[in-house]
Amino acid sequence: MTYLVVGATGLVGSEAVRILAEQGRPVRALVRTTSDPDKVGRLKNAGASIVTGDLKDRASIDEACRGASVVVSTASSTLSRQAGDSIETVDHRGQLDLVDAAARAGVERFVFVSFSSVGLEFPLQSAKRAVEERLRRSGMTYTSLHPMAFMEVWLSPALGFDPAAGAARIFGSGENKISWISFQDVARFAALAVDASAAANAVIKLGGPEALSPLEVVRLAEQVTGKRFVVEHVSEEALRAQYAAADDPMQKSFAALMLYVAGGDVVDMDRTLRDFGVQRLKSVREYLASVPSAV
């Protein structure tokens, strides 16, 4: 069997490549001609064979899928800085084209990294739902993973959570609990889903080992770093105004996702851990202790 990972230079994709290759599985990593050479080099060093393509180029996707038995797609435009990438070109049309290409190529199994419904309408969510519907009708065995907020993204300086500076931006009251999860654990479930019976034709919600409110995360960060944090609150009213005013698809999507984090979401992982044979998940404390300059 050959395993094609789409989004292989991203956080989840690169880790999924590493895990699958470490298991001795033949892995193809889809990269672009514009991909960071260092990231491509790490994929090669992990044992992956490199194929060049782009979700915006249907012919290259057809070629990448040819001979593959399993596709794992973690690709998204949300953290991309590549010209031409957008929710429409990558998360919507590109992913739909990938599902169709995989089905035409006789791919047996497709693992898709998505997220749960947030309760608001926004372009990124609409794209994810459209792809999941196409997967259900594709004839392939599919798995759609719905991870909660990635701690490495939402608890990072890029979104105002900066342990090194002792500063935290909190969306909403900060009192609602959320099951923060590490991208490494999401990649582990993606790698397990390629042949787990519990993952066949399933939508699986993923969270971390404990649910913590953002304010509890701040207190934990203060314990880990020994620093007193300065906390900035962004009210839900301000986030709703940002969501209502946004006319750019990415801005509207991020505003909706910030409202989702503000509202909290807790996942009971007991059954999923049993079904996948996973013993432990990375904790927020472990993540905070690993942040450079945090201590």
177 sits in the region (left: phi over 0; alpha: psi -120 to 50; else beta) called beta
Query: How would residue 292 be classed by pLDDT, with cut points 50, 70 and 90?
Result: confident
Percent of the chain at pLDDT exceeding 90: 95
For residue 198, the tally of other CB atoms under 10 A from its CB is 15
Nearest to 249 by CA among 76, 33, 75, 96: 76
Residue type, 57: D
What is the three-class DSSP state of 143? strand
At 166-213, the pLDDT tens digits run 999 999 999 999 999 999 999 999 999 999 999 999 999 999 999 999
Beta bridge partners of 71: 4, 110
What is the rounded CA–CA span in Å between residue 156 and residue 39?
21
Nearest to 196 by CA among 23, 26, 75, 28: 23
What is the rounded CA–CA span in Å between residue 151 and residue 182?
6
Task: List the alpha helices (DSSP H) in 165-248.
Answer: 183-192, 214-225, 236-245
Nearest to 96 by CA among 130, 68, 60: 130
Nearest to 60 by CA among 27, 96, 32: 32
Q: What is the pTM of this model?
A: 0.95
At 34-85, the pLDDT tens digits run 999 999 999 999 999 999 999 999 999 999 999 999 999 999 998 877 778 9
What is the rounded CA–CA span in Å between residue 129 and residue 75?
15
Q: Kindly state the tokens that stand for 184.
A: 């490494």
At 101-115, the pLDDT tens digits run 999 999 999 999 999
